[in-house]
Amino acid sequence: MSLKEDRRLLVTGGAGFIGSNFVHYWCDRYPNDRVVVLDALTYAGNRGNLSSLDDRNNFRFVQGDICDRALVFNLLQEENIDTIVHFAAESHVDRSILGPAVFIQTNIVGTFTLLEAFRYHWEKRGRATSDRETCCEATYRFLHISTDEVYGSLTPDAPAFTETTPYAPNSPYSASKAGSDHLVRSYYHTYGVPTIITNCSNNYGSYQFPEKLIPLMSINILLGKPLPVYGDGQNVRDWLYVGDHCAALDVVIHRGKPGETYNIGGNNEVKNIDLVYTLCQLMDELAPQLPVHPCHKLIGFVKDRPGHDRRYAINATKIKTELAWTPSLTIEEGLRLTVEWYLTHRDWWEPLLSEEYQAYYRQVYA
């Protein structure tokens, strides 16, 4: 397979937040590539996120579970997939505290199922070779998208996470992602499967499910509801605009080295309470007819969640120096784009505020 031939991607979790942004990004930039999305359409997966692509000949959507071994095997063979971009995961810490079992099933068993299927598919086509610099090695990819949470928590003055930071996950979510990372790494070192891992910081942008911090606060402001901030609000996160994340994954797929890990961060460390105040200022500016104005009056502090990591910070020097990627947006620019999207896409987020979601919300923030 020549490096100039079009790619054939299987994108797991492609109807979710980051996955759907990536699918739109890829289809727009590489219209000759084949993109197959596999998504179970659980609560955070939204088929409507991809509906505008349905008429494209190079796009296909399949509803299914990554733990379904036969389905995954058949898709890889039928579509002659050369690249898996693995987003599918249970990803919300609060939900992992309430019910960890599904996180183990999806994040660990699901990743194992994909790895086994891809290994068989890759070897069947004669790609298993001890020469890891051949053209086929540079074409086939298993890209596993992970999180900075696998590294644990940082003190205020500690250096940012690097690719060699020891793993120290503190929640069932991050522990399950750490387990999946180890599996992916082992398939490269044991079988030579061309795997790559990326560990990203907190993403934000369009199509993000309302339970996450930025859409939660944005929507509650529009509805005039309280803005619940955990603990003292001093927890620090590094924020990465989802469009910048997609561009980084593009670079990793095309130029990243199998067996490597790349940290992807936004260079935007912000305290949670400061982020909420910034959102309030943007909302006051962009949506002056709010139910409560100024909307910072809605801010309130709630009991901290168990095992809440104090600070995350990503050192993205490796991807900058080796692959020439840096984020293009500041947190102020990205937040403005995000707030504008939620203001103009009420028809997208309103149906998501179901009774099931409301029950979950009450359970977490009561």
Domains and CATH numbers, the chain: 8-208+239-267+311-328 (3.40.50.720)
Taking residues 56-83, report their average pLDDT: 97
Tell me the Cα Rg of the chain: 20
Per-chain mean pLDDT for the chain: 94
| 208/242 Cα distance (integer angstroms) | 10
| 366/360 Cα distance (integer angstroms) | 10
pLDDT band (50, 70, 90) for residue 133 = very low
- At 139 the pLDDT is 86
Share of the chain above pLDDT 90, in %: 88
- At 2 the pLDDT is 37
Residue 128 has pLDDT above 70, yes or no: no
Residue 301 has pLDDT above 70, yes or no: yes
**Count of alpha carbons within 13 angstroms of residue 35, beta-carbon side:** 28
* Residue 168 φ then ψ, to 5°: -150, 60
Q: Do the beta carbons of residue 221 and residue 265 sit within 8 Å?
A: no
pLDDT band (50, 70, 90) for residue 359 = very high
| 349/329 Cα distance (integer angstroms) | 24
- At 288 the pLDDT is 87
Higher-scoring residue by pLDDT: 124, 29: 29
Could you list the active site residues?
148-149, 173
- At 127 the pLDDT is 60
- At 126 the pLDDT is 52
**Count of alpha carbons within 13 angstroms of residue 207, beta-carbon side:** 23
- At 305 the pLDDT is 87
Cα 300 to Cα 92, 226, 229, 277, 303: the distances in Å are 21, 7, 6, 12, 10
Taking residues 196-225, report their average pLDDT: 97
- At 366 the pLDDT is 75
Helix (H, G, I), strand (E, B) or coil at 325: coil
- At 136 the pLDDT is 45
Locate all alpha helices (DSSP H) within 162-266, ordered by sequence.
172-191, 213-223, 242-255
Residue type for 328, please?
A: S
Taking residues 286-305, report their average pLDDT: 95
Q: What is the pLDDT of residues 71-118, one digit of tens each?
A: 999 999 999 999 999 999 987 888 888 899 999 999 999 999 999 999
Task: Tell which residue, 8, 27, 254, has the closest CA to residue 138.
Answer: 254
- At 129 the pLDDT is 45
Higher-scoring residue by pLDDT: 219, 130: 219
Predicted TM-score (pTM) of the model is 0.94
Q: What residues contact residue 17 under an 8 Å CB cut-off, 6+ apart?
A: 44, 203, 205, 207, 208, 209, 212, 242
Taking residues 329-339, report their average pLDDT: 97
Residue 5 has pLDDT above 90, yes or no: no
Higher-scoring residue by pLDDT: 325, 4: 325
- At 131 the pLDDT is 45
